[in-house]
Amino acid sequence: MSSYPSTDDCYRIMREERLSTAVIRHVCVVNLVAMEIAKRCGADLGLVNAASLLHDIGRSSTHGVSHVAESVRIAREHDLPEKLVNCIGRHIASGFTSEEARALGLPDGDYMPVTLEDKVVNFADNLVSDRSIKTVAQAAERMRSKGFELTATRMLAIGGEIAKLCGEDIDAMLERAKLRETAAARCDKLA
């Protein structure tokens, strides 16, 4: 039995926090991507499931970069396990060093993905734009077009590490699972 909240518990928390339908649909797609990857690379499925569903819970009150700190605050308010809180706090961009976080006005904290589960949730979130699942190259290009070269480089490094652990190219894995074709429709039904 997992010490992490179940899928139903996560959706209950999202409703309690009045997360918008659009954000619920987004986290649902991130969850589908993250779980597909997690199953193939041996990650803790309970942790990845809960973190991928709750990573944007702070968007109930803000959509700026500070949503990550708000997500951590809300997760702690719900007395969620510390590993889950940490994974939620490490989902932003491709991680921030403490100096980068400070420059962005974030509270002191650890925003760099460290564990496999942190990396899976972070990477899955980077692949999902709204409810659309991008290829790894498209996600990196989207970051570069916004001027985030370092974030794109970090994302590609995380993706390479995950692909090696999975023994399969991430784009090929998602293509085989047909997530790009089905995820949005599956998540529309849940939101």
pLDDT in tens, 13-62: 999 999 999 999 999 999 999 999 999 999 999 999 999 999 999 999 87
Comparison of pLDDT for 188 and 133, the residue scoring more: 133
Rounded distance between C-alpha atoms, residue 39 and residue 159, angstroms: 15
Residue whose tokens read 């193939």: 40
pLDDT in tens, 145-174: 988 888 899 999 999 999 999 999 999 999
The radius of gyration of the chain from alpha carbons, rounded to an integer in Å, stands at 15
191 band by pLDDT with thresholds 50, 70 and 90: low
Rounded distance between C-alpha atoms, residue 106 and residue 96, angstroms: 10
Range name among 39-43, 58-62, 96-100, 112-116 with the lowest pLDDT average: 96-100
For the structural domain made of 7-190, what CATH number should be given?
A: 1.10.3210
C-alpha angle 58/59/65, rounded to 5°? 85
At a CB cut-off of 8 Å and minimum separation 6, what does 84 contact?
4, 5, 47, 50, 51, 54, 75
Looking at residue 108, its pLDDT comes to 82
